[in-house]
Structure 1
């Protein structure tokens, strides 16, 4: 180690406080980068494991393939694991108790399928031959004829079909019913005999509303003839974006008609075939990482800049004894290297420990609140450590580069005179006379101090500006992430839906009193048509008109309108939520309703999620309702409904209409006014419920004898949506916490050091008669000047970055740009509080200093 480096180490040891502050700053920066990288990897890992636990591990599915095609798929270089699956069909369950689940649904897997799909044996074993079968535990409780292990089961297996529908129904389609009962039948039946070898728990991938209980058999590839077809389900060796094109090419080469992808699981690997979504992800990642690096550079740069300022006399003396520019520059880089060697390992461990503590805290919450089967696990990859180290090293280098250049230019005479930071002229410190008149001489002195110490003033303002940008950028990113998630999610706001052909309010009302039901709403729905004036349609529909004006009828655009009639209590609650008087919407002579004006939809051409107004209307205008006579294909004016309120809030059970549709919420009395005998049979009645135990509530409904109702339990979908929102909230708000921490540390560090370096200046002011009250007043005005200047620069720059983020989101999600006014107000207040606190803390530390002793000090 040469003499200059030895002196650098000695300087670090002698200035323990400054060295410690710098090391802590770098540790915070490294910990933040490490935490962000680990958070991202760990969340993706959790979502992958949760998807696999619920729906099985697979990536690509080739449908209806024969033995030759299976061989081609298996030999493909991208195939890691091949699973054979086959939907055999449906068979009538002997004397089923539950009329909405009258079938067994028989599915076949090969041995690999039993491993990759979540099938849990509760008794017996899994099938090993094609004439063996396992039944769900639910079958025993819902079939009058009991079946046990070892019993023979002869079934007539076929497809669910209904007249007028070309395709057979699947497990995702509930039982088709009418007033007389089931309106579907089993066709193309063939007889199969199985031996029951085990009992399984109800599979997690079986929809709650499915009409068939899952039964699983074995598919033996060796017994397949040339005409037999199955589904080939593939786990890929490497998951990468090219898999979509590769699978389509493989299918085309082997004459395979249908290929599907496990989009949910692939999305959690960061792979999507949606170019807009990929663009959005890359742009946002770039913006956020830039914000992180800028924040880190700002913090560490200030630490090094202040260190060089303190060392200026020391570096000047080195220059006086022959130290070259290169040696002085190398001294600063060497200081950065020492601090990096100490700080980076500690920062990585601190970031890791912080994530471990965070996950320990939220794991119990996730499990208790959402019933998730998987827990968050801290996943640290070599790449995330390398990224954290690489960004930190680059950050330290950038942060020390400018101070190093400055150090190389310090001459001996300038360093001894201490003239490099303060260069005075009358013009430099000139202030407006208005400042003294309005705020007094203390404000004028404070402003002159800032102008005189211009370099330190700029560093402090820069720190504040960076803090504002960091907080507002991440805050806007968080709110827009949640907004985008809302647009892309199904927005299911109920646990259970119950309906049935011919069922009315009287049939459904008793179920609202079942145990565990926490909230319920009975709703009547009627679909009718309306026509909207061209100037009242949104821009997306105007584009359609410009392309083809024949869409218009008498100059108006055809719309469909869904009238939702709520029960009395639900309507009262909804009107209160919207902020209108429910009684004013119950005019017996003038039907009035609440129109949901803001909707979101996915543009099929661009793949973008868009937000728009359903209709451009105003309170007091009327919407004409037309009914269609399908026999004569004529429309007649049925009634009209007045717009009593406009809102973006939706009641329980309502999914907003798509583009070209309107949702109108009315009371029970208004609904009865709108319904006439011609549309009576078109009205459908639904019951929506939230329950503390949805599965038990569903069973209670299904156990009611003589019911002919459909039960749709969406708890799994709803939990998944909640889980996604929670994960993103933890990630983004955790990020905001880290950003806030680094920003506050940055501000305190900069201001406290700046104040510390001005000890002699403050001592001089006190020595010429400035009172403690005047001194405090001067410092308060300095705080205000700091805050005002930071806000003047920080907020416009932040708004520009927000707009860039908005443009990034707009690649996939289209909605209007709005400023986060509450965040802007918060950051303005917070800046003045933090600056004031930092000033107060720093000044309190100087109060005990003796004026004479302080004036004698050459440097601090």
Structure 2
């Protein structure tokens, strides 16, 4: 170690406080970077494991393939494991007590399938031959059929078909699966049948837990058997699910090329699992991920650089006399520059390892607290585990070293250029020219001499002043950017999920109403927390071109045939709410309930915001450009003669983006109108005999949807249909919760770093001004005037920071919004709440930091402070 480096180390030891503050700043910066990397990797790992636990581990699926094609897939260089499966078909479940689920659904797996798909044994063992069967425990629990291990079942296994006169789409006959609910008529009677049956005999060898991939509306209880590949004949068809050796962006092209080469159908990709590997064939999503990540990482790096740079800039400002003395005894520019770089290296060697450990430990503690919350709230079976990869550690080290280098580069250059005389006299930082410290006369007139002195003090040392302001600006940008990113991320997740705001839905057909006693019985169930009863009818309205949504207006411009006399036909979904549901909904959206109940002048609440998928892009837009008080002329259609018949005119009482319970707005071409039951009866009276599609329904939210479903089914009411979407809502809420935990945790981290940055900068700046304060006191400044001066300085800092910080934040937010538009299209909205909080927080934090730091110098002896050479 040369003499200059030894002197640098000695100087760092003598100035322990400043050195400690700098080390803490670098530790915080490194911890932030490591924490962010660890959070991202850990959450992706959780989502991978949760997806595998729910739907199995596979990356590519080849459907309906033969034995030769199966072997080609197995030999492919990209294949690590091949899972072979086949849907054997459906068989009648004798004695079933669940009308909507009358079948056994038999699925066959090879041994790899039982290993890599989430099959959990409750009792017995898994099948090993093709005549063995493992049945779901829900058969005994829900259907009331109690199979025991050792039972022999003789089943007629076939495929589901619809009769020719069903009036439904018959193109898929024979290929209906578990995602297709049981087909029933208006009275709730089954209209489908099993055909092409084959008698098979099985021995029950195990009881399994209800598979997570079995939808609650599926018509069959799952039973698993073994698939022996050796027994496959040339005509047999199976499905091949592939686990790849390496997951990368090339897998889509490779799988499609393999399918084409061997004459297979287009492969299916496990998009949900692959996206957590960072692999997607959605080009818009890729651009969104890369661009948003780039903007966010740039903000993080800039924040880290500002945190460390301020520490080193203040250090060099303080050490200028020390460096000048080195120059006076022969130190070269290079030696002075290297002295600063050496200080950065020493601090980095101490701080970066500690920062990485602190970042990992902090995330570990955070995960301990949120694991129970996540699992308890939405039934996530997997836990958050701290996942640290060599790449994340290397990234944290690399970014931290880069930030230290950038942070020390400018101070090092400045240190190398300062002359010995200027450094010893400290004339480089202090500007005493009249022009440099000139202030407006209004400052003294409006705020007094204390404000003028405070402003002159700031202008005297503009470098230190701008360093503090820059620190504040970066803190504002960091906080507002991450806040906006959080809102954008949650918005994107919500847009990408189907907006189902209920757990269960009951509906009727053939213009039948739900029986009042049945509604009361369902509403009285202990688990039902919220419900709404409504009638639904399909009508249409002609909407003027000026009122069309932006996408439809664009379509009309490209294809004028869509318009008829300057109007486009909208499908109207009319929802009639009962009084209790309507009163609660009207209060929520700010509509007049009494006006809504007026059947003589029908009024409606229009849900004017719709979110839909346009190719690869989720779009949120206004469904209609209308105003409250305007009206819509509704029409029915007599389909036999294809003639329109007026239904009546409805006034728009209010417009809202909040649909009521049970209404889903995901179609650009459907406009939802909410009216009272009285108004609906009045509007439908002229067209009710014209073949209007009218149904009555009830949407429910329940604390235990499965129990509620069972209770409703036990009521055995004919003619009703029941759909349970609890599992889908559970997954949607779990994703939003995970995103919220991640993003709000990130906001807390950024806020803590910003506060530490401001306190570090201001406290060090105040400490370096001890001599200046002592001089002011020596000429008669009272404690009261001193406090006023400090308060005004805080205000000047805050105003200056906001003037720069808010526009810069808006620019970064606009960049993030523009980046997200590759996959999600919605209006750019300013985060007014976050901005207000930032304004208040800036003045509060600056004021607190100034008062705290100034309190440390108030008790200083004036003579000692004037004589003091360093801190």
Are 2:610 and 2:665, in contact at CA under 8 Å, matched by a contact in 1?
yes
2:314 maps to 1:298: no
For the structure 1 residues 28 and 418, does the alpha-carbon distance in structure 2 shift closer, same or farther, using more than 3 Å as the test? Answer: same
Say which SS state the counterpart of residue 267 (structure 2) adopts: strand
Are 1:99 and 1:707, in contact at CA under 8 Å, matched by a contact in 2?
no
Counterpart in the other structure of 2:172: 167
Matches for 1:568-587 after TM superposition, within 5 Å: 568-587=579-598
- 1:262 CA drift (Å): 1.1
* 166-175 or 63-72: bigger deviation: 166-175
For the structure 1 residues 709 and 194, does the alpha-carbon distance in structure 2 shift closer, same or farther, using more than 3 Å as the test? Answer: farther
Are 1:99 and 1:708, in contact at CA under 8 Å, matched by a contact in 2?
no
Distance 2:552 2:145 in 1: 57
Counterpart in the other structure of 2:759: 748
Counterpart in the other structure of 1:669: 678
Counterpart in the other structure of 2:555: 544
Are 1:84 and 1:219, in contact at CA under 8 Å, matched by a contact in 2?
yes
Partner of residue 627 from structure 2, selected from 595, 601, 618: 618
2:653 maps to 1:648: no
Counterpart in the other structure of 2:484: 476
Distance 1:55 1:193 in 2: 28
2:632 maps to 1:627: no
Say which SS state the counterpart of residue 721 (structure 1) adopts: helix
Matches for 1:750-829 after TM superposition, within 5 Å: 750-829=761-840
For the structure 1 residues 819 and 303, does the alpha-carbon distance in structure 2 shift closer, same or farther, using more than 3 Å as the test? Answer: same
Any idea what the Cα deviations from partners look like across 1:128-181, whole Å, max 9, x if unmatched?
111221211222345566533222222222222223322132211211111341
Partner of residue 178 from structure 1, selected from 185, 189, 210: 185
Say which SS state the counterpart of residue 38 (structure 1) adopts: helix
- 1:219 CA drift (Å): 1.3
Partner of residue 471 from structure 2, selected from 463, 486, 506: 463
- 1:722 CA drift (Å): 1.1
- 1:680 CA drift (Å): 7.4
Say which SS state the counterpart of residue 526 (structure 2) adopts: coil
Distance 2:571 2:191 in 1: 27
Distance 1:442 1:100 in 2: 81
Matches for 1:715-754 after TM superposition, within 5 Å: 715-754=726-765
Distance 2:599 2:712 in 1: 36
Say which SS state the counterpart of residue 157 (structure 1) adopts: strand
Are 1:596 and 1:650, in contact at CA under 8 Å, matched by a contact in 2?
yes
Say which SS state the counterpart of residue 177 (structure 1) adopts: coil
Matches for 1:191-202 after TM superposition, within 5 Å: 191-202=199-210
Are 1:621 and 1:642, in contact at CA under 8 Å, matched by a contact in 2?
yes
Are 1:591 and 1:642, in contact at CA under 8 Å, matched by a contact in 2?
yes
Are 2:136 and 2:208, in contact at CA under 8 Å, matched by a contact in 1?
yes
Matches for 1:515-530 after TM superposition, within 5 Å: 515-530=526-541
What is the count of residue pairs matched by the alignment? 858
Distance 1:640 1:781 in 2: 63
* 111-120 or 686-695: bigger deviation: 686-695
Are 1:177 and 1:501, in contact at CA under 8 Å, matched by a contact in 2?
no
- 1:508 CA drift (Å): 4.2
Are 2:26 and 2:355, in contact at CA under 8 Å, matched by a contact in 1?
yes
Partner of residue 565 from structure 1, selected from 559, 569, 576: 576
- 1:732 CA drift (Å): 1.1
- 1:510 CA drift (Å): 2.0
Are 1:529 and 1:560, in contact at CA under 8 Å, matched by a contact in 2?
yes
Are 1:61 and 1:233, in contact at CA under 8 Å, matched by a contact in 2?
yes
Are 1:174 and 1:710, in contact at CA under 8 Å, matched by a contact in 2?
no
Any idea what the Cα deviations from partners look like across 1:486-507, whole Å, max 9, x if unmatched?
1111122111122344563214
- 1:681 CA drift (Å): 6.5
Are 1:209 and 1:710, in contact at CA under 8 Å, matched by a contact in 2?
no
Counterpart in the other structure of 1:839: 850
* 800-809 or 407-416: bigger deviation: 407-416
Are 2:325 and 2:420, in contact at CA under 8 Å, matched by a contact in 1?
yes
Distance 1:701 1:381 in 2: 50
Matches for 1:179-578 after TM superposition, within 5 Å: 179-180=186-187, 181-501=189-509, 504-506=513-515, 507-578=518-589
* 154-163 or 94-103: bigger deviation: 154-163
Are 1:791 and 1:828, in contact at CA under 8 Å, matched by a contact in 2?
yes
TM-score calculated relative to the size of structure 1: 0.98
- 1:674 CA drift (Å): 2.5
Distance 1:679 1:440 in 2: 82
Distance 1:146 1:761 in 2: 89
2:724 maps to 1:713: yes
Any idea what the Cα deviations from partners look like across 1:92-130, whole Å, max 9, x if unmatched?
111321111111111111111011111112222211111
- 1:289 CA drift (Å): 0.8
Counterpart in the other structure of 2:34: 34
2:697 maps to 1:686: yes
* 25-34 or 255-264: bigger deviation: 255-264
Are 2:637 and 2:691, in contact at CA under 8 Å, matched by a contact in 1?
no
Distance 1:515 1:679 in 2: 41
Say which SS state the counterpart of residue 430 (structure 2) adopts: coil
- 1:657 CA drift (Å): 4.6
For the structure 1 residues 782 and 209, does the alpha-carbon distance in structure 2 shift closer, same or farther, using more than 3 Å as the test? Answer: same
Distance 2:142 2:54 in 1: 24
Are 1:586 and 1:667, in contact at CA under 8 Å, matched by a contact in 2?
yes
Say which SS state the counterpart of residue 217 (structure 2) adopts: coil
Distance 2:87 2:523 in 1: 37
For the structure 1 residues 434 and 359, does the alpha-carbon distance in structure 2 shift closer, same or farther, using more than 3 Å as the test? Answer: same
Distance 1:316 1:253 in 2: 75
Say which SS state the counterpart of residue 235 (structure 1) adopts: strand
Are 1:175 and 1:710, in contact at CA under 8 Å, matched by a contact in 2?
no
- 1:708 CA drift (Å): 5.0
- Calculate the aligned-residue CA RMSD, in Å: 1.5
Counterpart in the other structure of 2:48: 48
Q: Can you give the 5+ residue segments of structure 1 that lack an aligned partner in the other structure?
A: none
Are 2:63 and 2:265, in contact at CA under 8 Å, matched by a contact in 1?
yes
Matches for 1:2-17 after TM superposition, within 5 Å: 2-17=2-17
Distance 1:681 1:770 in 2: 86
Say which SS state the counterpart of residue 856 (structure 2) adopts: helix
Any idea what the Cα deviations from partners look like across 1:202-225, whole Å, max 9, x if unmatched?
111100011111111111111111
Say which SS state the counterpart of residue 665 (structure 1) adopts: strand
Distance 1:559 1:386 in 2: 56
Say which SS state the counterpart of residue 573 (structure 2) adopts: strand
Any idea what the Cα deviations from partners look like across 1:786-810, whole Å, max 9, x if unmatched?
1111111111111111111110011
Partner of residue 590 from structure 1, selected from 593, 597, 601: 601
Say which SS state the counterpart of residue 494 (structure 1) adopts: coil
* 438-447 or 294-303: bigger deviation: 438-447
Distance 2:633 2:61 in 1: 48
Distance 1:208 1:328 in 2: 73
Distance 2:691 2:583 in 1: 25
Any idea what the Cα deviations from partners look like across 1:616-666, whole Å, max 9, x if unmatched?
111122222222222222222222322111001111111015112200111
TM-score calculated relative to the size of structure 2: 0.96
* 702-711 or 786-795: bigger deviation: 702-711
Any idea what the Cα deviations from partners look like across 1:248-302, whole Å, max 9, x if unmatched?
1111111101321111111121211111111011011111111111111111111
